[in-house]
Amino acid sequence: MSLLRIKGIKVLPSILVMLVIGASLSACVTTKSGGFASKTDDDKAFETSLQLARSYIAKGNWDQAKRHLQYVEAEDKNNPETLEALALVFQNTGELELAEQYYLRSISLAPGASRVRNNYAAFLYARGRYEEAATQLEIVVQELLYERRVEAFVNLGRCYMQLNELAKAEDAFKRAFLMQNNDSSVLMSLSEVYFRMGRFAESQRYYDAFRDKTPNQSAASLWLGIRLADKFDDKNTHASFALALKNLYPKSEEYLLYKAYMQQGNN
């Protein structure tokens, strides 16, 4: 996504650095002074373990992060943000069944937490579960104050692209465009969906706007540009983009698609 950028989706560690602990904390490992446990020390132990988990997550040290988060969970089993963090750790260590269990537990405890649903949608998209991902994102985009709402609309549109529901994809991308009309991923998404719909003039218009924002093209944008160039019989652009695709992304899926496309005589 987007989803989530959705394409080739992997959750970035930087997302987790923003995690915060809830206001209510259960008792942790205690230190004793004069035979009594110190509540301040309990809270400090909890916070220290969570801070260490954040640090390890930022470094991609999943095993150490998991160890600290499991300690925190043992002290507060109903903290939805801790559960989300564990879901992300398990996702990145390949323990996918556990990751999904933790996502669902977090969502059940905090159904209004848009970030958790957004991350869960990315998880589902990466598994090819596009309809389920779209269901989660449909809820996310209803949150008017969610700071990543534009991205959520783009990811929702990409889910519908995968499901070949192009009208729904167009609607999602247009909603994102209304909120942020100079975002390169939004412009590229609109160009892609209009190309798929056979509306080539509109596709070219959004592609040109995308190119104005993004001079360094990806394999996906070069491949789209080649096909648009052919629709408008622009041989120079085709040749330029094809050379760039071959030189910059010779092992990409898009270059393989381009070679198959040329063998079929541009049909």
Q: Give the integer Cα–Cα distance in Å for 231 and 154.
A: 26
pLDDT of the residue at 156: 98
Of 159, 160, 219, the C-alpha closest to 1 is 159
Inter-residue contact 252 to 245 (CB < 8 Å): yes
Q: Evaluate if pTM is beyond 0.75.
A: yes
Q: Give the integer Cα–Cα distance in Å for 85 and 89.
A: 6
* pLDDT tens-digit readout, 148-171: 999 999 999 999 999 999 999 999
Q: Give the integer Cα–Cα distance in Å for 88 and 115.
A: 12
Looking at per-residue confidence, does 194 or 50 come out higher? 194
Query: Per-residue pLDDT for 238 more than 80?
Result: yes
Query: Per-residue pLDDT for 33 more than 50?
Result: no
Hey, what domains does the chain have and what are their CATH numbers?
A: 1-139 (1.25.40.10)
Inter-residue contact 228 to 203 (CB < 8 Å): yes
pLDDT (mean) for 223-236:
98
Q: Give the integer Cα–Cα distance in Å for 97 and 122.
A: 15
Determine the distance from the C-alpha atom of residue 255 to the mean position of all C-alpha atoms in its chain, rounded to a whole number: 24
For residue 42, name the pLDDT band (cuts at 50, 70, 90).
low
